[in-house]
Structures are given as structure tokens and as C-alpha cells.
């Protein structure tokens, strides 16, 4: 698990869920989560107004950006990089009334605030990993001056710290967070917590929803659930081949190199992993398709799609955009578009290649431009009279192809397969599945609605009869709004999502 790319990927995914929370994760999580001990040199990075300084944005784009009234105060300013090598930064700059500074490497983000004019020292007790140490030796620690008002944001997010630790405490924190912020219940259900299921009862198109409650994925999903209003954080889909063998299609499968990819796995392999090896303690439900939809499901077309996506990278490009639909109604406080922009700016500086993956290309697509950098994107957008908030809300289009192929998050992958297999006919051409959250997906009225037709092993030992089959988990899963929404053209392209009720107007 101690793979750096997983770490970075997790941080990026996190961004989608609750941007600034990423900062908190890496600033305060226990350092030994991944078994990385602090054998690396301890570092004290001295910095003062005289030696760190302002590479205050020099590029034409940034100058233009600052010239645009109102835009510059929402972004953090990259101040420079501090390292223990003298001369890494240059040029004095007198910091004005100092408030909040963020110190970041690709492996952590931490912050501190200072008052005018004194020398300051920031102590890094130990490095997260050898890789972080190497990075800092080469590039230093990046320092950003945050826009005013950010301190409140950071304080308000304090309780996301423990969500990411792979301990019982971390798991309890996730449950507590979801209870408090979403009103989730997490009632314990009777054993067995893993169903003795009969795979003969599982069919092509049956939907798998997972809710991970522990470790890095648990923490990420908790935040994702909170911002989207979904009671599950991951999805996959069942598929039978022409010989009747059962497979699972999944976007977000971690391969042996620790990369998240799209894969088709034999059911046994997938299930064995979830039951025995997945350390995120997933709660899993099977949502059987309604017989009419099952009859409509074109297996040939579904397989064609599955094969065309096999091995492709997970859909980082569009996941953020499925959530942001409206200018002010998608960010639970204390998040807002400014925070999203701030985190984007910081990641842009630290991990340009990941940033490109996550949003640069997607934002360019929204403008119809190519290769513009984040500041240029903002300038271009403002020139056209569109604020950055507004730009973020432009709907994703399923037909957009990115440099590494078509992009599909876990749920976009399943729904795209549904679309290919004909389940959205006859309105498929006016459905953009990349705009659907997991909640939007399980809310579709595509699933079995007659409990007597559910498989006999479904919820067999539970006194509470769920309308779907929970097949794993200690806590009873709840999917409010399950199986209720008739699809309509342009569904989910303009929907707000604000906790705790996530009220949604009709036909948004």
C-alpha cells in the first residue's frame, strides 16, 4: 500500500471530494500509516522574508490574471520554494500583512500563519518517504500565500483528519462523520456479514455499489459521499459472457503496479478480493436489474464497450465535473469554488502532469481550446465573460476523448455501458452519463422493484428486508431514493447537491 503513486492518486481523488481536505490529510495524518518510518533526515527549513521570495508570478498570463479585477484574490499566490540549500530562491520581497501560508510537497500540505516581518522557521520532523525527501532536495518545499478567509476553511475541516487512518478509530471517524453530516445510520445487521450467494442468480447489467469505510479509500469516499449526497462511494457492473461465465467490470481497479485502471475481472477473483483482501472494509450491495431492463440489455454491445475500455486509466478527467453542476449549490460549506481553484493552483505547481490529467484538459475542452495552462484558462474564460465558477459548471460530454482515451470514473463506466447496451433508449443521445453521481445512478428506476423476485439468499438472515441485496458488510446499507427516477433528457446536468438534505428540484 505504500506506493507513492497511490498516495498521490488518493490525494487527487480527494480533491474531487473535498478539495482542501486533501491538505489536511497530508498535514496531520499519522506518519506511520504506510509503515514509513522517519529514518530520513530531519529538516528544518529556515525561511524569512529575505530569503524565500517572491517569484511573484512573472509570466504574462499571471500578470494578465492579476490585472483582471477580482480574479487574483481568489487564488493562492506561489511565493517560492524553500530548501535547505542556500540560493534556491532569490530576490527579496517585503511580505505585507501576512496571513496564511501553505507549505506543500506532492506528499503533504501543511500550513501556518504569521504576522508581519519576523523570521520564521517551519519544522518538518520527518519526511513522509524517501521519495518526498528526494523531491525536496531537488525542488524544495513550495510556499503559497493563501487568499484571505482561508483560515476559517481550514479550521472548519479539522474533523476530516482521522478519516484516512487505517484503524478502528479511522473507521469510527468515517461512520461518525457520515452520521453527523449526512444523517446516515450504520445500524449493525445480523451475521453472516458475507452472503452465501448463488452466482447463477446474478445477471448481466446487475449493478454493484460499494461503500468503503476505512483507510485512505474510506476517507476519500466519505468526503465524496458528503459532497454528492451518495450513500455509496464506488461502483462496478456484472457481465456474463457467451459461455455464461460471470465477470465484473470495474473502473478504479488497482492493478499490481498500484495504478487505478479499468478492468474486467472474473467474478471469483473480484469477490475474493473484496471479501478477503480489501482493507477498506467495503459494504457491498447488488442491485439486480429489473426484468424488463434485463431483456433490453444488449450484451454484445456491452461487451464491445467493456473491451474497448479494458486497461484504460481511471477517469480522473471527468470525475470532478459530475459533481459540480451549479455555481453555488454544490459545495457544502466551507468549500467553495475558490477553494477548488486554490487547490487546483497548488497541484498545478506541484504535480503538473497529474494536474493536466485531473482538470487542465477537461477545462480546455470546456473552452474549446487546447493546451492552455490553468492561469491562461482563467484569463481566457474571463475574457469571454465567464467566471471560473461558471466554467466549472459547463457539463461534461460523453463523447469527449482525452489524450489517454475516453475518460470514465467508476460510475460513468457503468452508465456508459448501460447506454451502449440500450438501457437509456430512446433518449440515450440526450443523456450525458459523466454528469451522473453514484446517487444519480442508483436512483434510476432500472432495478428490480418486486421483492418476491429477489434471489432467495438475498437479505436472508436479516429481519429488515432491503429492496436490494446487500452481500457484504457489518452495517446495513441505505440508498435513499433507490430505484425511483425515470430518466429524462439532459438529466443531472444542472443539479444542486447540498447537505444535509441534498434537495433536488425536479428535472434538474
CB of 288 to ligand NAG, least distance (A): 13
Q: How far lies 144's CA from each of 132, 166, 212, 323, 349, in Å?
A: 18, 30, 33, 27, 10
Report, in Å, the least distance between residue 422 CB and ligand NAG. Answer: 6
Closest by CA position to 317, among listed 379, 188, 407: 407
How many beta carbons lie within 10 A of that of residue 358, not counting itself?
23
Tell me the closest approach of the beta carbon of residue 418 to ligand NAG, in angstroms: 13
DSSP 8-state class, residue 277: I
Q: Which is nearer to ligand NAG, 403 or 450 (CB)?
A: 450
In 3D space, the residue among 79, 482, 19 whose CA is nearest the CA of residue 220 turns out to be 19
Sole window of 55-63, 359-367, 430-438, 449-457 interacting with ligand NAG (rule: CB under 6 A): 449-457
Q: Nearest-CA neighbor of 345 among 331, 332, 360?
A: 360
Regarding 242 and contact with ligand NAG (CB under 6 A), the answer is no
Nearer to ligand NAG, 298 or 326 (CB): 298
Could you give the CA distance from residue 330 to residue 437 in angstroms, rounded to a whole number?
A: 12
- Secondary-structure breakdown of the chain: helix, strand, coil percentages, each rounded to the nearest 5: 40, 15, 45
Residue 276, helix vs strand vs coil? helix
Q: Which is nearer to ligand NAG, 298 or 387 (CB)?
A: 298
Which one, 376 or 420, has the nearer CB to ligand NAG?
Answer: 420
110 binds ligand NAG (CB under 6 A): no
Query: Do the Cβ atoms of 469 and 454 come closer than 8 Å?
Result: yes
Write out the H or E segment, with its range, that includes residue 477: none
Among 121, 257, 403, 450, which residue sits at the site for ligand NAG (rule: CB under 6 A)? 450
Instruction: Read off the C-alpha cell for 184.
Output: 446516515
Of 301 and 498, the one with the shorter C-beta distance to ligand NAG is 301
Stretch that binds ligand NAG, among 16-24, 139-147, 273-281, 300-308 (CB under 6 A): 300-308
Piece of the chain touching ligand NAG by CB under 6 A; list 18-26, 299-307, 350-358, 403-411: 299-307
Stretch that binds ligand NAG, among 49-57, 126-134, 151-159, 447-455 (CB under 6 A): 447-455
Q: How far is the CB of 449 from ligand NAG (least distance, A)?
A: 8
Which position among 301, 327, 386, 498 is part of the footprint of ligand NAG (CB under 6 A)?
301
Q: Which is nearer to ligand NAG, 72 or 298 (CB)?
A: 298
Could you tell me the smallest distance in angstroms from the CB atom of residue 302 to ligand NAG?
8
CA 4 to chain centre: 17
Is 428 near ligand NAG (CB under 6 A)? no
User: What b/e readout covers 27-48, taking b as 16+ CB neighbours within 10 angstroms?
Assistant: bebeeebbebeeebeebebebe
**Cβ proximity to ligand NAG, 297 vs 331, nearer residue:** 297
For residues 115 and 63, give the distance between their C-alpha atoms in angstroms, rounded to a whole number. 27
**Residue 197: CB minimum distance to ligand NAG, A:** 20
Nearer to ligand NAG, 453 or 465 (CB): 453
- Residue 366: phi and psi, rounded to 5, are -65, -30
Q: Which of residues 353-412 bind ligand NAG (CB under 6 A)?
A: none
Shortest spacing between CB 453 and ligand NAG, in angstroms: 5
Is residue 405 within 8 A of residue 313, CB to CB? The reply is yes
Close Cβ partners of 212 (under 8 Å, ≥ 6 residues apart): 218, 221, 233, 234, 278, 280, 281, 282, 283
Closest CA to 101 of 146, 62, 138, 61: 146
Count of residues that bind ligand NAG according to CB under 6 A: 7
Cβ closer to ligand NAG: 484 or 503? 484
Q: Which of 298, 326, 387, 483 binds ligand NAG (CB under 6 A)?
A: 298
Stretch that binds ligand NAG, among 143-151, 160-168, 294-302, 491-499 (CB under 6 A): 294-302
Nearer Cβ to ligand NAG (247/303): 303
| Calpha distance 209→187 (Å, rounded) | 18
- Whose Cβ is closer to ligand NAG: residue 144's or residue 303's? 303
CA distance 92 to 74: 24
- Torsion-angle region of 308 (φ positive above 0: left; ψ -120 to 50: alpha; else: beta): alpha
From the list 256-264, 316-324, 433-441, 450-458, the region that binds ligand NAG by CB under 6 A is 450-458
Binding flag, residue 452, ligand NAG (CB under 6 A): yes
Q: Which one, 262 or 421, has the nearer CB to ligand NAG? A: 421
300 binds ligand NAG (CB under 6 A): yes
Query: Is 453 one of the binding residues for ligand NAG (CB under 6 A)?
Result: yes
Q: Which residues bind ligand NAG (CB under 6 A)?
A: 298, 300-301, 304, 450, 452-453
Amino acid at each position: 500500500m505504500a506506493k507513492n503513486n497511490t498516495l498521490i492518486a488518493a490525494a487527487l481523488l480527494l480533491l474531487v471530494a473535498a478539495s482542501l481536505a486533501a491538505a489536511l490529510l497530508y498535514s496531520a495524518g499519522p506518519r506511520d500509516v504506510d509503515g514509513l518510518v522517519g529514518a530520513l533526515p530531519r529538516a528544518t527549513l529556515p525561511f524569512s522574508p529575505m530569503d524565500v521570495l517572491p517569484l511573484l508570478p512573472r509570466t504574462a498570463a499571471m500578470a494578465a490574471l492579476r490585472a483582471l479585477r477580482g480574479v487574483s484574490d481568489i487564488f493562492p499566490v506561489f511565493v517560492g520554494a524553500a530548501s535547505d540549500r542556500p540560493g534556491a530562491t532569490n530576490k527579496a520581497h517585503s511580505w505585507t500583512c501576512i496571513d496564511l501560508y501553505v507549505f506543500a510537497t506532492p506528499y503533504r500540505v501543511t500550513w501556518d500563519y504569521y504576522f508581519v516581518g519576523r523570521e520564521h522557521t517551519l519544522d518538518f520532523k520527518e519526511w513522509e518517504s524517501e521519495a518526498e525527501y528526494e523531491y525536496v532536495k531537488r525542488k524544495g518545499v513550495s510556499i503559497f500565500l493563501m487568499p484571505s478567509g482561508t483560515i476559517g476553511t481550514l479550521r472548519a475541516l479539522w474533523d476530516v483528519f482521522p478519516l484516512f487512518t487505517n484503524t478502528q478509530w479511522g473507521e469510527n471517524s468515517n461512520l461518525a462523520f457520515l452520521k453527523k453530516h449526512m444523517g446516515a445510520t450504520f445500524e449493525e445487521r445480523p451475521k453472516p456479514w458475507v452472503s452465501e450467494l448463488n452466482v447463477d442468480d446474478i445477471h448481466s447489467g446487475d449493478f454493484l455499489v460499494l461503500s468503503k469505510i476505512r483507510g485512505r479509500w474510506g476517507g476519500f469516499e466519505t468526503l465524496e459521499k458528503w459532497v454528492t449526497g451518495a450513500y455509496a462511494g464506488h461502483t462496478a457492473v456484472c457481465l456474463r459472457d457467451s459461455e455464461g461465465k460471470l465477470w465484473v467490470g470495474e473502473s478504479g481497479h488497482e492493478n499490481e503496479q498500484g495504478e487505478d485502471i479499468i478492468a474486467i475481472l472474473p467474478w471469483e477473483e473480484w469477490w475474493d478480493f473484496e471479501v478477503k483482501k480489501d482493507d477498506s472494509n467495503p459494504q457491498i450491495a447488488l442491485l439486480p436489474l429489473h426484468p424488463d431492463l434485463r431483456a433490453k440489455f444488449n450484451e454484445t454491445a456491452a461487451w464491445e464497450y467493456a473491451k474497448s475500455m479494458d486497461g484504460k486509466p481511471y477517469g480522473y478527467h471527468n470525475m470532478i465535473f459530475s459533481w459540480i453542476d451549479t455555481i453555488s449549490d454544490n459545495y457544502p460549506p466551507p468549500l467553495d469554488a475558490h477553494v477548488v481553484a486554490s487547490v487546483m493552483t497548488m497541484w498545478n505547481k506541484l504535480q503538473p502532469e497529474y494536474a493536466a490529467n485531473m482538470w487542465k484538459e477537461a477545462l480546455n475542452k470546456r473552452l474549446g481550446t487546447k493546451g492552455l495552462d490553468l492561469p491562461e484558462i482563467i484569463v481566457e474564460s474571463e475574457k469571454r465573460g465567464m467566471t471560473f465558477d461558471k466554467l466549472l459548471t459547463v457539463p461534461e460530454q460523453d463523447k469527449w476523448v482525452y489524450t489517454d482515451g475516453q475518460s470514465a470514473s467508476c460510475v460513468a463506466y457503468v452508465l456508459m455501458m448501460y447506454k451502449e447496451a440500450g438501457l437509456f433508449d430512446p433518449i440515450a443521445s440526450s443523456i450525458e452519463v459523466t454528469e451522473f453521481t453514484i446517487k444519480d445512478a442508483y436512483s434510476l428506476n432500472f432495478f428490480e422493484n418486486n421483492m418476491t423476485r429477489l434471489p432467495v439468499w438475498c437479505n436472508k438472515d436479516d429481519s429488515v428486508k432491503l429492496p436490494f441485496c446487500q452481500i457484504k458488510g457489518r452495517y446495513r446499507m441505505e440508498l435513499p431514493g433507490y430505484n425511483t427516477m425515470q430518466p429524462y433528457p439532459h438529466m443531472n446536468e444542472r443539479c444542486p447537491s447540498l447537505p444535509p438534505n441534498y434537495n433536488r428540484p425536479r428535472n434538474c
